[in-house]
Structure formats: structure tokens, C-alpha cells
Amino acid sequence: MHRHHGEDHEHDRGLSYDLPVLARRRMIRLMAGAGLIPLVGCSSEETSASSSSSSSAASSGNSSSSSSSAECATIPNETAGPYPGDGSNGVNVLKESGVVRSDITSSFGDSAGGTAEGVPLTITLTVVDAASGCGTPKKGAAVYLWHCDRDGNYSLYSEGVTDENYLRGVQETDDKGQVTFTSIFPACYSGRWPHIHFEVYGSLEDATAATSITNTSQLALPKDVCDTVYATDGYSQSVQNLSQLSLESDNIFSDGYDQQMATVTGSVEKGYTATLTVPV
């Protein structure tokens, strides 16, 4: 029987899974602070929440201003969590016809055909070559992106939506190294900061074969925008869940999130746009 993520409460795959990743990332930061290796992130953001959030709230996070840096750190690798749908934990949506798409709000194929409701969110990731200082876009790579719905449920896994595959999709990067997904703003569920999962593949062929993942990471959403979105209908549980969390207490983002904090602009009425540069 599939369990709701709230019942499978190891914060994705759990601390034992994440400790090696967290330890490695802390060691990198220590070495960088000692001047042993050059480590220049492609983005930075203060995480203090804005007390004057409005429906037109805009939040700065990841920035491409440092893309001309001589060196650039790759996006931190994170757990794919218990609901990746990539064949590593049960179902594999990547091999299904129709998974290559930009609009991921509705289910496709032989699924139930449901549509995820919520505040519109457009997600644009720019995949760049870290070895070239983030200045070279990775054309012809592929990104598989997925996240929970407005109720905090994951399609394919959570009770009530096991027959759905919405909020999952694959895109091939264009000449600018970009992929864009049309989606909805995800919920904040118990124990995790609002986030979006993604995997980077070397090619679309690799992605649809569910093989040779290059990077697995997560995108964080800024608090001021979350506060504004969660004040709307349908997100009431997210208000309480978010009040019990901070980026510093989240088991994924607690050791650093500068490279993973998206820039989010827009409004509830017109929808939001989240952008992030992804060095690989």
C-alpha cells in the first residue's frame, strides 16, 4: 500500500542517506574558506522574510551575475526523495510516452487525467557548464522535474493520486541551456521547506531511458512568496507547516542553499515565475 509522504517521515530518504552528502558539502566549504580551492557560487541570497509581502511580491535568489567567474561550483547534489518516479523507487514515469512536455499541470497517458490546482508557477532552469565558469550553456542536456501538489501529495505515490502523474515532466535544454515548465506552486508539507526536485541528464535519450543521471538536486522557494501564496484558498495547511520550519532547520537546505534558492517574481493574480541557474 502506498503511504502519504507525511507517514513516510524520514524527510525524503532520511538522515542516514543524506549524511554523506551533507558531510561532503561541509568539507568543500571548509576547504574553500581556508583558500585551498576556488569555490565561487553562481548565486547568493539573504533568506530573511519580507514583512511587507504583497500579491506582487518578488524575491531575489539565484543570480547569473557571477557567470563570468573563472570557476563555478556545481549545484549541490541532494536526495531524490522517496517519490522520484524515475524507476529507482518503484514506478518509472520517464519511460512513458508523453513525459517530454513543458506543461506538467495535468496527467498524461493512461493515468486518471486529473489536473493539479493551485497558483500558477512557471519554472525556468538554466543548465550551464561549471568547468567553464558557468559561462557556457549546456545545450542538448535534459531535465526531469517533479514536485508535490497543493495538498502536499506526490502523484504516483500518495494516497488518492496514485493513478495520476501530474507535476512531472522532462524537457531538453535549448541553445541557452534552458528548460521551462508550466506548473503550480507546491505546498509546504510537514517536515520540509517548500521545494522542487529535479534531475539533470546528459541527453534527452538518457532521460527517457532513465539512465546516467548527471546531477540530482532541489530548488528552494523564498519565504516571502510562500507566505503570500499560502494565504490563498487551498493552501491553508501549508501556513501551519511553514510556521514550524526554517531553511536552517530543513534537513536538505540547512547546510547551505545559496545555489538552490530560486529567484521568484510575479503575483497571485498573474502567476509566478521561478528561475534558477544550475551549474553541472
For position 237, what pLDDT does the model report? 98
67 within some domain: no
Q: What one-character DSSP code corresponds to residue 272?
A: E
For position 111, what pLDDT does the model report? 77
Query: What does the chain come to in residues?
Result: 280
CATH of the domain at 127: 2.60.130.10
Run of H or E including 26: helix 15-33
Mean pLDDT by 10 residues, the chain (280 residues): 39 39 42 38 34 37 41 93 96 97 96 93 98 95 98 98 97 98 98 98 98 97 98 98 98 97 98 98
Cell of residue 211, nine digits? 539512465
72 within some domain: no
254 within some domain: yes
Beta bridge partners of 103: 182
57 within some domain: no
223 within some domain: yes
How many structural domains are present in the chain?
1
Contacts of 102 (CB under 8 A, 6+ apart): 169, 171, 179, 180, 181, 182
Cell of residue 89, nine digits? 523507487
175 within some domain: yes
273: domain range? 120-279
For position 191, what pLDDT does the model report? 96
The answer to whether the beta carbons of residues 15 and 251 sit under 8 Å apart is yes
181 within some domain: yes
For position 71, what pLDDT does the model report? 64
84 within some domain: no
